[in-house]
Structure 1
Amino acid sequence: MIQAYDHPPQPGQMLCRIEEIEDPGSTRIDFGAYGAHLRLLLVRLGDRVHGYADDCPHAHHPLDFHFGKVFAPDRQFLQCSSHGARFRPEDGVCINGPCLGKALTRIALTLVAGEVRLAA
Protein backbone atom coordinates (compact mmCIF):
# COMPACT_ATOMS: atom_id res chain seq x y z
CA MET A 1 0.00 0.00 0.00
CA ILE A 2 1.27 3.47 -0.88
CA GLN A 3 -0.63 6.62 -0.01
CA ALA A 4 0.25 9.91 -1.69
CA TYR A 5 -0.46 13.51 -0.71
CA ASP A 6 0.32 16.58 -2.85
CA HIS A 7 1.20 18.72 0.19
CA PRO A 8 3.99 18.70 2.78
CA PRO A 9 3.42 16.58 5.89
CA GLN A 10 1.49 18.34 8.64
CA PRO A 11 2.25 17.85 12.37
CA GLY A 12 -0.41 15.64 13.92
CA GLN A 13 -1.62 14.39 10.53
CA MET A 14 -3.13 10.91 10.58
CA LEU A 15 -1.23 8.60 8.25
CA CYS A 16 -3.09 5.30 8.63
CA ARG A 17 -4.44 2.89 11.22
CA ILE A 18 -1.95 0.46 12.76
CA GLU A 19 -3.94 -2.57 11.58
CA GLU A 20 -3.42 -1.44 7.96
CA ILE A 21 0.27 -2.36 8.30
CA GLU A 22 1.22 -6.05 8.33
CA ASP A 23 3.00 -7.23 11.52
CA PRO A 24 5.92 -7.23 11.03
CA GLY A 25 5.64 -5.15 7.92
CA SER A 26 5.92 -1.78 6.28
CA THR A 27 4.19 0.68 4.00
CA ARG A 28 5.15 3.94 2.30
CA ILE A 29 3.45 7.33 2.28
CA ASP A 30 4.54 10.01 -0.19
CA PHE A 31 4.23 13.75 0.41
CA GLY A 32 4.71 16.47 -2.20
CA ALA A 33 4.80 16.33 -5.96
CA TYR A 34 7.11 16.55 -8.97
CA GLY A 35 10.34 15.42 -7.35
CA ALA A 36 10.25 17.75 -4.32
CA HIS A 37 8.80 15.28 -1.91
CA LEU A 38 9.29 13.11 1.15
CA ARG A 39 8.90 9.35 0.98
CA LEU A 40 7.99 8.15 4.47
CA LEU A 41 8.30 4.51 5.55
CA LEU A 42 6.11 3.20 8.35
CA VAL A 43 7.53 0.04 9.94
CA ARG A 44 5.35 -2.00 12.27
CA LEU A 45 6.70 -4.28 15.00
CA GLY A 46 3.87 -5.56 17.16
CA ASP A 47 2.08 -2.63 18.77
CA ARG A 48 4.76 -0.10 17.73
CA VAL A 49 5.22 1.79 14.47
CA HIS A 50 8.54 3.42 13.57
CA GLY A 51 8.88 6.13 10.92
CA TYR A 52 11.85 6.62 8.60
CA ALA A 53 12.62 8.63 5.49
CA ASP A 54 12.77 6.20 2.54
CA ASP A 55 16.39 7.12 1.81
CA CYS A 56 19.38 4.81 2.22
CA PRO A 57 22.31 6.64 3.88
CA HIS A 58 24.75 4.90 1.50
CA ALA A 59 23.65 6.07 -1.96
CA HIS A 60 20.43 7.95 -1.16
CA HIS A 61 18.29 5.49 -3.08
CA PRO A 62 14.82 4.46 -1.85
CA LEU A 63 14.87 1.33 0.30
CA ASP A 64 11.55 -0.14 -0.73
CA PHE A 65 11.43 -3.10 -3.11
CA HIS A 66 7.81 -2.83 -4.07
CA PHE A 67 4.96 -0.68 -2.78
CA GLY A 68 6.62 0.22 0.52
CA LYS A 69 7.89 -3.25 1.36
CA VAL A 70 11.34 -3.06 2.97
CA PHE A 71 11.68 -6.19 5.10
CA ALA A 72 14.31 -8.71 4.01
CA PRO A 73 12.99 -12.22 3.26
CA ASP A 74 13.84 -13.34 6.82
CA ARG A 75 11.47 -10.58 8.14
CA GLN A 76 14.04 -9.64 10.81
CA PHE A 77 15.71 -6.64 9.16
CA LEU A 78 14.92 -3.87 6.70
CA GLN A 79 16.87 -4.18 3.46
CA CYS A 80 17.84 -1.61 0.82
CA SER A 81 16.69 -2.63 -2.65
CA SER A 82 19.81 -1.15 -4.31
CA HIS A 83 22.84 -2.57 -2.49
CA GLY A 84 21.38 -4.92 0.12
CA ALA A 85 22.28 -2.93 3.25
CA ARG A 86 20.38 -4.25 6.28
CA PHE A 87 18.93 -2.08 9.03
CA ARG A 88 17.43 -2.89 12.42
CA PRO A 89 13.72 -2.09 12.20
CA GLU A 90 13.50 -0.72 15.76
CA ASP A 91 16.12 2.05 15.33
CA GLY A 92 17.11 2.13 11.64
CA VAL A 93 20.82 1.45 12.27
CA CYS A 94 22.68 -0.37 9.47
CA ILE A 95 24.11 -3.66 10.74
CA ASN A 96 25.40 -5.01 7.41
CA GLY A 97 26.33 -3.41 4.10
CA PRO A 98 28.06 -0.35 2.64
CA CYS A 99 26.67 2.09 5.24
CA LEU A 100 27.52 0.01 8.33
CA GLY A 101 26.84 1.95 11.54
CA LYS A 102 24.88 4.74 9.84
CA ALA A 103 21.15 5.06 10.41
CA LEU A 104 18.01 5.86 8.49
CA THR A 105 16.55 9.29 9.19
CA ARG A 106 13.91 8.84 11.87
CA ILE A 107 10.51 10.50 11.50
CA ALA A 108 8.72 11.05 14.83
CA LEU A 109 5.30 9.38 15.05
CA THR A 110 2.62 8.99 17.67
CA LEU A 111 0.04 6.25 18.06
CA VAL A 112 -3.34 7.43 19.36
CA ALA A 113 -6.29 5.02 19.61
CA GLY A 114 -4.86 2.91 16.77
CA GLU A 115 -4.15 5.92 14.53
CA VAL A 116 -0.57 6.40 13.33
CA ARG A 117 0.11 10.15 13.24
CA LEU A 118 3.05 12.44 12.58
CA ALA A 119 4.24 13.81 15.91
CA ALA A 120 3.08 17.36 16.58
Structure 2
Amino acid sequence: MSEDVRSLLNTGEDGLRLLPLTQIEDGGFAEAEATIDGDAESLILHRDGDRVRAWLNICPHAGRRLDWAPGQFLKSREGHLVCAVHGATFELSGGVCVAGPCRGEALRAVAVVVRNGDVVLDRT
Protein backbone atom coordinates (compact mmCIF):
# COMPACT_ATOMS: atom_id res chain seq x y z
CA MET A 1 0.00 0.00 0.00
CA SER A 2 1.42 3.41 -0.92
CA GLU A 3 2.11 6.14 1.64
CA ASP A 4 -0.62 8.32 0.05
CA VAL A 5 -3.25 5.58 0.31
CA ARG A 6 -2.19 4.77 3.90
CA SER A 7 -2.57 8.44 4.79
CA LEU A 8 -6.06 8.62 3.28
CA LEU A 9 -7.10 5.49 5.15
CA ASN A 10 -5.64 6.82 8.40
CA THR A 11 -3.40 3.76 8.69
CA GLY A 12 0.25 3.10 9.28
CA GLU A 13 2.47 0.10 8.75
CA ASP A 14 1.51 -1.36 12.13
CA GLY A 15 -2.05 -0.21 12.72
CA LEU A 16 -4.85 2.28 12.60
CA ARG A 17 -4.36 5.82 13.93
CA LEU A 18 -7.15 6.41 16.46
CA LEU A 19 -6.45 9.98 17.59
CA PRO A 20 -3.67 12.30 18.73
CA LEU A 21 -2.52 11.68 22.32
CA THR A 22 -3.11 15.36 23.07
CA GLN A 23 -6.86 14.85 22.59
CA ILE A 24 -6.98 12.79 25.80
CA GLU A 25 -6.50 14.69 29.05
CA ASP A 26 -3.93 13.02 31.31
CA GLY A 27 -5.95 10.74 33.60
CA GLY A 28 -8.98 11.12 31.34
CA PHE A 29 -10.93 9.10 28.85
CA ALA A 30 -11.79 9.33 25.16
CA GLU A 31 -13.80 7.24 22.75
CA ALA A 32 -12.62 6.06 19.34
CA GLU A 33 -14.03 3.80 16.64
CA ALA A 34 -12.10 0.89 15.13
CA THR A 35 -12.67 -2.41 13.40
CA ILE A 36 -11.84 -5.28 15.74
CA ASP A 37 -12.09 -8.86 14.48
CA GLY A 38 -14.10 -7.61 11.51
CA ASP A 39 -16.66 -5.67 13.57
CA ALA A 40 -16.97 -1.88 13.99
CA GLU A 41 -16.43 -1.23 17.70
CA SER A 42 -16.42 1.68 20.11
CA LEU A 43 -13.26 1.82 22.22
CA ILE A 44 -12.59 3.41 25.59
CA LEU A 45 -9.13 5.02 25.74
CA HIS A 46 -7.58 5.97 29.09
CA ARG A 47 -4.46 8.11 29.23
CA ASP A 48 -1.89 7.74 32.00
CA GLY A 49 0.95 10.10 31.15
CA ASP A 50 2.46 8.93 27.88
CA ARG A 51 0.69 5.54 28.06
CA VAL A 52 -2.78 4.69 26.86
CA ARG A 53 -4.89 1.65 27.70
CA ALA A 54 -7.89 0.65 25.62
CA TRP A 55 -10.92 -1.59 26.05
CA LEU A 56 -14.05 -2.34 24.08
CA ASN A 57 -16.78 0.05 25.20
CA ILE A 58 -18.95 -2.86 26.37
CA CYS A 59 -19.85 -3.61 29.98
CA PRO A 60 -19.53 -7.35 30.74
CA HIS A 61 -22.64 -7.15 32.93
CA ALA A 62 -25.28 -6.39 30.29
CA GLY A 63 -23.35 -5.83 27.06
CA ARG A 64 -24.15 -2.11 26.95
CA ARG A 65 -21.85 0.84 26.36
CA LEU A 66 -20.22 2.30 29.46
CA ASP A 67 -20.42 5.97 28.43
CA TRP A 68 -23.43 8.08 29.48
CA ALA A 69 -23.22 10.00 26.20
CA PRO A 70 -20.91 9.29 23.25
CA GLY A 71 -17.36 9.71 24.54
CA GLN A 72 -18.47 10.86 28.01
CA PHE A 73 -17.35 8.52 30.79
CA LEU A 74 -17.91 8.56 34.55
CA LYS A 75 -14.95 8.35 36.93
CA SER A 76 -15.24 7.49 40.63
CA ARG A 77 -13.49 9.43 43.38
CA GLU A 78 -10.97 6.59 43.48
CA GLY A 79 -10.24 7.11 39.79
CA HIS A 80 -12.08 4.02 38.52
CA LEU A 81 -14.20 3.86 35.37
CA VAL A 82 -17.92 3.55 36.17
CA CYS A 83 -20.58 2.09 33.88
CA ALA A 84 -23.27 4.74 33.46
CA VAL A 85 -26.07 2.15 33.25
CA HIS A 86 -25.68 -0.13 36.29
CA GLY A 87 -22.71 1.36 38.19
CA ALA A 88 -20.19 -1.43 37.61
CA THR A 89 -16.80 -0.04 38.63
CA PHE A 90 -13.57 -0.97 36.81
CA GLU A 91 -9.99 -0.42 37.92
CA LEU A 92 -7.80 1.02 35.20
CA SER A 93 -4.66 -1.13 35.28
CA GLY A 94 -6.42 -4.23 33.93
CA GLY A 95 -10.07 -3.28 33.47
CA VAL A 96 -11.27 -5.65 36.21
CA CYS A 97 -14.67 -4.92 37.80
CA VAL A 98 -14.09 -4.19 41.49
CA ALA A 99 -17.67 -3.27 42.44
CA GLY A 100 -21.14 -3.74 41.05
CA PRO A 101 -23.05 -6.45 39.23
CA CYS A 102 -20.10 -7.98 37.33
CA ARG A 103 -17.49 -8.02 40.11
CA GLY A 104 -14.46 -10.09 39.06
CA GLU A 105 -15.18 -9.91 35.33
CA ALA A 106 -13.08 -7.66 33.11
CA LEU A 107 -13.40 -5.36 30.14
CA ARG A 108 -11.97 -6.75 26.90
CA ALA A 109 -8.57 -5.13 26.38
CA VAL A 110 -7.54 -3.81 22.97
CA ALA A 111 -3.85 -3.39 22.15
CA VAL A 112 -2.85 0.19 21.44
CA VAL A 113 0.46 2.03 21.41
CA VAL A 114 1.50 5.66 21.32
CA ARG A 115 3.58 6.27 18.21
CA ASN A 116 4.76 9.70 17.00
CA GLY A 117 2.23 11.45 19.26
CA ASP A 118 -0.74 9.38 18.05
CA VAL A 119 -2.68 6.58 19.70
CA VAL A 120 -2.51 3.69 17.26
CA LEU A 121 -4.33 0.36 17.19
CA ASP A 122 -1.49 -2.14 17.55
CA ARG A 123 -1.88 -4.78 14.86
CA THR A 124 1.57 -6.35 15.33
Higher helix share goes to which structure? 2
Q: Distance in 2 between matches of 1:69 and 1:77?
A: 14
Pairwise CA distance, 1:21: 0.4
Larger Rg: 2
Q: Distance in 1 between matches of 2:71 and 2:113?
A: 20
Code of the aligned partner of 2:52: V
Q: Secondary structure at the match of 1:84?
A: coil
Residue 104 of structure 2 aligns with which residue?
Answer: 101
**CA shift digits 1:77-118 (9 cap, x unpaired):** 000011000001121000001100110000000111221100
- Whether contact under 8 Å (1:27, 1:67) holds in the other structure is no
- Whether contact under 8 Å (1:40, 1:52) holds in the other structure is yes
TM-score (ref. length: structure 2): 0.79
Residue 84 of structure 1 aligns with which residue?
Answer: 87
Pairwise CA distance, 1:31: 4.0
Indicate the percent of aligned positions where both proteins have the same amino acid.
35
**CA shift digits 1:11-45 (9 cap, x unpaired):** 6111111111011111111347xxx6311111112
Q: Distance in 1 between matches of 2:40 and 2:80?
A: 26
Q: Secondary structure at the match of 1:99?
A: coil
Q: Which runs of 5+ in 2 are unaligned?
A: 1-8
TM-score (ref. length: structure 1): 0.81
Residue 65 of structure 2 aligns with which residue?
Answer: 62
Residue 30 of structure 1 aligns with which residue?
Answer: 33
**How large is the Cα RMSD of the aligned pairs?**
2.2
